[in-house]
Amino acid sequence: MLIGVMGAMGEEVEWMVRHLKKTGEREMGRRIYHQGNLGGADVVLAYSRVGKVSSASTATTLIDVFGVDLILFTGLAGGVRNDLEVGDVVIASELVQYDMDGSALPMFKKFEIPLLGIQRFPVRPEDVALALRHSQNYLDVCLWKDVDAALLQEFHLTKPKAVSGLIGSGDQFIASSEKVAELTRELPGLTCLEMEGAAVAQVCYEHGIPVIVMRVISDKADHSAHIDFTKFLEKIASPLSGGIAITLLESLAGSKRPTS
């Protein structure tokens, strides 16, 4: 099985590249696709860049050019569920493009992708369960070995948790409590907001390829929690998301070719 691994932040991808047993690379569409073995799995690893178009383009290349069987996407997100704190991990059970609205036309509903007739892109339950299990195990056991205790204390990471739920994606950087409240009313079960995952999920849905989307909470989407974002990304989020990705890949390496 060949797995496409994508990251929305360059620092996260660079961390994984350092742990990759590299066999080659190809440059296409102003992106470098790193080929090799990570966690015992054959992978193609790419930095997607930020936004739905960038991530959709990267996912399409992974599927059409490299022929990957599954895509694993990692990145950061702003939490909107009240119990989510900095350092928690969200595994998507569904994904929605919260900025898609064709409802001015009578044939479309808000959040529905025109001509697909779908609002929420589902993730296979077995993949959600697998990602949840490995994420929580990493947070309980391995994070404390990979990240200095003083750093974890600085960011108040005492008992981070992994949860699953609806992830919202849009080409907007949400920094408004009013907007967060609006989206949580309109999208019951919404856990966090980011800028890529649902676009990747749409590409995978259209190609019949399974997807796993994992997000590390870096702040509240209304920015009520203030942290040193760059330091958190480099020192905590990158080894955290990369470490979880590797444990997931170790498990997936023994899997048969997935079917949609």
- Helices and strands: H and E segment counts in the chain: 9, 10
Secondary structure of residue 145 in the 3-state scheme: helix
| 178 or 174, which is more confident | 178
Q: So what's the pLDDT on residue 221? A: 65
**Contact (Cβ atoms closer than 8 angstroms) between residue 44 and residue 77:** no
Q: Is 83 a catalytic residue?
A: no
Q: Which of 11, 12, 83, 182 is catalytic?
A: 12
Which residues, at least 6 apart from 14, have a Cβ–Cβ distance to it below 8 Å? 238
CA 104 to chain centre: 31
Give the pLDDT band of residue 176 (cuts 50, 70, 90): confident
Distance between CA 144 and CA 55 in Å, rounded? 31
**Residue 226: pLDDT above 80?**
no
Q: So what's the pLDDT on residue 256? A: 44
The predicted-structure confidence for 10-23, as pLDDT tens digits, reads as follows 898 999 999 999 99
Q: Which of 85, 219, 222, 234 is catalytic?
A: 219
Give CA separation, 158 vs 29, 85, 151, 185, 243, in Å: 41, 10, 11, 30, 18
Give the pLDDT band of residue 258 (cuts 50, 70, 90): very low
Secondary structure of residue 204 in the 3-state scheme: helix
Count CB atoms within 10 A of the CB of residue 102: 15
CA 165 to chain centre: 12
**Contact (Cβ atoms closer than 8 angstroms) between residue 45 and residue 13:** yes
Distance between CA 102 and CA 87 in Å, rounded? 35
Give the pLDDT band of residue 223 (cuts 50, 70, 90): low
Distance between CA 166 and CA 96 in Å, rounded? 7
| 200 or 239, which is more confident | 200
**Residue 235: pLDDT above 80?**
yes
Query: For helices 125-137 and 238-252, what crossing angle results, to 10°?
Result: 130
Distance between CA 259 and CA 244 in Å, rounded? 23
147 phi and psi, to 5 degrees?
Answer: -125, 135
Distance between CA 130 and CA 144 in Å, rounded? 21
The mean predicted confidence, pLDDT, of the chain is 91
159 phi and psi, to 5 degrees?
Answer: -150, 70
Q: So what's the pLDDT on residue 260? A: 37
Q: 26 - beta bridge partners?
A: 33
Q: What is the C-alpha end-to-end distance of the chain, expressed in Å?
A: 14
Length of the chain: 260
Q: So what's the pLDDT on residue 222? A: 58
Q: Which amino acid is at 107?
A: M
Residue ranges of domains in the chain, CATH in brackets: 75-252 (3.40.50.1580)
Give CA separation, 172 vs 75, 100, 176, 193, in Å: 16, 12, 11, 9
Q: Is 219 a catalytic residue?
A: yes
